Amino acid sequence: MRALLWLASIIAASALAFALGGYATDVYRKMLVWIALALSYNFLFGVAGQIAFSQFAFAGVGAYGVVILSYKLGLPFGVALVGAIALCALLAFIVAVPSTRLEGFYLALATLAFAQLFLVVVNEGGELTGGTGGIAGYKLPEVFGIALRGPWYTVVLVLLVALTLHLLLRLERSSFGRACRAIKANPAVAAAMGIDVRRTKVITFTLTSTLAGLAGAAYAYVDNVINPPVFGLDNIFMLLFMIIVGGMGRPAGAIVGAVLLYLAPFVLEPIVGHAYLVLFGVLVVLAILFQPQGLIGLVDRLRPERRA
């Protein structure tokens, strides 16, 4: 029954890829990448309570990693993809190990530094990273003789979201997810119950950052262009807004928040111009003040008998 629901959702989301065209396709694809990033960030921030600003930097490592390894260095695509993802995992681990040792905002500071460092590296990377202009002119190589182009690449993005959601739901509903919530509520008591707080934090950070890298690698072939500003700090705040407005700690909330806030500018910008950012700010403040459970919390209130 549940498997059927998954299958139906994937087919429906894929079918949309074939129905859309032109600009709408581009919007849809980027929305899917945002959803994937919001889902993993929701686990890190919403479920596990870790405050980190490196989600887009790791997406950048995934994107630049796969393009540099396959296009610039000419490695086979499969090797490049695995290499880029492994690099994300390694870097995340290196950031997490020292910064989860200390309490409080240490991870926030370390990830902020990492995000800035990443931008410096790609901006100053010369020929290898393309500097401020980024890298363009590559395209997704054929894998096993199959070229995933047009709507079929959108299907890849749908599968990316499905995989991310599937893995994170599994994790959230397991003893590991429970341990993460306990650490968020009270790390000292969680430790007294036998939970290795640091290890759990390092695993959570490494895993969600690696998922961000995977989403970034997928993003690299949406427009076949990557450049530094996409992976800057502006977007991380957007991600934070999405989760707060949608409903912190809830995958459904992350999806609702990502869809809504990603699409909102397309509606709002023609009317209010860049002032839509102010509207977002107001929306976040209102959500925190009056609806801390986010939009998904409103849905719960309408259907009190169900709790996902």
- Does residue 101 interact with another protein by CB under 8 A? no
- Which residue of 181, 225, 260, 284 would you call a contact of another protein, by CB under 8 A? 181
- Does residue 132 interact with another protein by CB under 8 A? no
Helix (H, G, I), strand (E, B) or coil at 226: strand
Q: Which is nearer to another protein, 175 or 270 (CB)?
A: 175
- Does residue 190 interact with another protein by CB under 8 A? yes
- Segment lying near another protein (by CB under 8 A), choices 110-118, 181-189, 213-221, 259-267: 181-189
- Does residue 179 interact with another protein by CB under 8 A? yes
CA 292 – CA 243 distance, rounded (Å): 11
- Does residue 264 interact with another protein by CB under 8 A? no
- Which residue of 15, 24, 94, 185 would you call a contact of another protein, by CB under 8 A? 185
The amino acid at residue 180 is C
Q: Which is nearer to another protein, 132 or 174 (CB)?
A: 174
CA 23 – CA 266 distance, rounded (Å): 12
The amino acid at residue 253 is G
Residue pair 282/196 in contact by the 8 Å Cβ criterion: no
In the complex, least distance from residue 238 CB atom to another protein, rounded to whole angstroms: 26
The stretches of the chain forming alpha helices (DSSP H) are: 2-19, 23-41, 55-67, 77-99, 106-123, 151-172, 175-185, 187-192, 197-219, 233-246, 251-272, 276-290, 294-302
- Which residue of 126, 145, 146, 175 would you call a contact of another protein, by CB under 8 A? 175
User: Footprint of another protein on this chain (CB under 8 A)?
Assistant: 167, 170-171, 174-176, 178-179, 181-182, 185-186, 188-197, 203, 207
